Amino acid sequence: MMKISDILSVCSISLNNVFEEKEDLLNYLVELANNSNKIIDVEQVRNAVFEREDVMSTGVGKGIAIPHAKTESINSTVAALVTLEEGIDYKSLDKKPVNIAILLLSEPVNIGNHLRMLSQISKLLNNESLRERIIDSKSNEQVIEIINKFEREI
């Protein structure tokens, strides 16, 4: 079964960022995901992410956003992770600012995998101590270590 560590690489993580707007964060996440070399058409991916966000905010509460989209413009499932120095208004369900976001991009043919990955990301970020450790991380490698440890324990 696919794990977060299979789709999130060191080059697709960025820590302690500052953004004014939700749109800036989403654009940056798409650019980070593009570092993976798994994106075929960046603009189509960006459009898919924004279209999904227009349906309903992916700000799930507790300072967490999990923007996601299914798109044929990738050649395999990919993720990007961003932490924010200061939370931003994300129109979250609980109205609280977001300070950590993980973008998930999946191929439309693999809906089951997409839902499993969303579930794993939710479990990871709903764990308050893991969320705090990710936000406090000093390096991308440290984030990967935290995720690997989490996956070994589930």
Architecture per CATH, domain 4-148, reads as 3-Layer(aba) Sandwich (3.40)
Q: What integer pLDDT is reported at residue 110 of this predicted model?
A: 85
Residue-wise pLDDT for 35-93, tens only, equals 999 999 999 999 999 999 999 999 999 999 999 999 999 999 999 999 999 999 999 99
Give the ranges where the chain is alpha helix by DSSP (H): 4-7, 22-34, 42-55, 111-126, 128-135, 140-153
Torsion sign, CA atoms 51, 54, 58, 62: positive
Boundaries of every domain in the chain = 4-148
Q: What integer pLDDT is reported at residue 1 of this predicted model?
A: 85
CA distance 58 to 118: 11
Does the pTM of the predicted model rise above 0.85?
A: yes
* Mean pLDDT confidence for 127-135: 96
Residues paired with residue 106 on neighbouring β-strands, in sequence order: 70
Residue-wise pLDDT for 82-122, tens only, equals 999 999 999 999 999 999 999 999 999 989 999 999 999 99
Q: Which two tokens stand for residue 139?
A: 């390096």
Contact 67, 32 (CB under 8 A): no
Q: Which residue has the tokens 């696919």?
A: 2
Q: What integer pLDDT is reported at residue 83 of this predicted model?
A: 98
Residue 27: pLDDT over 90: yes
| Angle between helical axes of 111-126 and 128-135 (0-180°, round to 10) | 90
